[in-house]
Amino acid sequence: MAAGEGRAVLVTGASRGIGRAVAGAFAERGDRVAVHWGSSRERAEAVLAELPGEGHVLVRADMTDADQVGSMVDEAAGALGGLDVLVNNAGVFTARPPLETSYDQWQAAWAQTLATNLVGAANATFRAVPHLIAAGGGAVVNVSSRGAFRGEPDNPAYGASKAGLNAFAQSMALALAPHGISVTCVAPGFVQTEMAREVLDGPGGDAVRAQSPYGRVARPAEVASAVLWLASPEARFSTGTIVDVNGASYLRS
């Protein structure tokens, strides 16, 4: 990062929801953001257009494709002039209750979920590390979930992928600290996003909101605020930590 310039930040899954809010939060503080998208260029272009500041770029990759992920990280670093922060936000949630799912559906759900939520993030991190070292250090922030701790009966693959992401992040925190790189996680509960709208606007929405003593779910900006802090130099010594953003809807010891 050149003196007087903002940081170079790659946010995966930035075309909507939490990723969109995270991209906006970094841009608002003067950082240059690579907006990753996988399936909707139109949404990604809309996010890019709304970001304040200059130097932002679009990058695309199927997160289940290791070659595409590697090329995407290198492309982002090249376009931004380096890389200071990686936010692993891209993820999928496909409900496949074990007692209501065929074996073929079960296998497909596990393959897609683990490949996107866990292996995709691991591959992005691996390819980002040389760029972060070249920048003199930096941060990797992973968007996990309370589901890693409380369980996800309708989508056990999702819960397992996020638990694996937490373990991966803590392993990398130990491996990368000598290089000045922190690795952390933020673990939201339900968040008011497009993906959650069907549940939150449906008959079970009130019950979901009642899980928190605040009587609501998280706003994307609240998750983005936690990501912004974890990516800051001030949070470097908090490497390995997992920050809950669930409104006390699930408390872990």
User: Which amino acid would we find at residue 163?
Assistant: A
Q: Is 158 a catalytic residue?
A: yes
Asked if 36 and 76 touch (Cβ cutoff 8 Å), the reply is yes
Is the predicted pLDDT of residue 1 greater than 70, yes or no?
no
For the chain, domain boundaries:
8-245
pLDDT of 149 reads 97
Specify the fold of 8-245. Rossmann fold (3.40.50)
The stretch 173-201 carries a mean pLDDT of 94
pLDDT of 195 reads 77
pLDDT of 188 reads 98
Query: 9: pLDDT confidence band, cut at 50, 70 and 90?
Result: very high
Is the predicted pLDDT of residue 4 greater than 70, yes or no?
no
pLDDT tens-place string over residues 19-56: 999 999 999 999 999 999 999 999 999 999 999 999 99
| Catalytic position from the list 103, 158, 214, 250 | 158
pTM above 0.75, yes or no: yes
Is the predicted pLDDT of residue 248 greater than 90, yes or no?
yes
Query: 11: pLDDT confidence band, cut at 50, 70 and 90?
Result: very high
Is the predicted pLDDT of residue 198 greater than 90, yes or no?
no
Question: Within 13 Å, how many C-alpha atoms sit on residue 153's CB side?
Answer: 2
Q: What is the mean pLDDT of the chain?
A: 96
The stretch 102-110 carries a mean pLDDT of 97
C-alpha dist (Å) from residue 74 to 17, 67, 91, 245: 24, 11, 20, 31
The stretch 111-136 carries a mean pLDDT of 98
pLDDT of 5 reads 72
Is the predicted pLDDT of residue 241 greater than 50, yes or no?
yes
The stretch 167-174 carries a mean pLDDT of 98
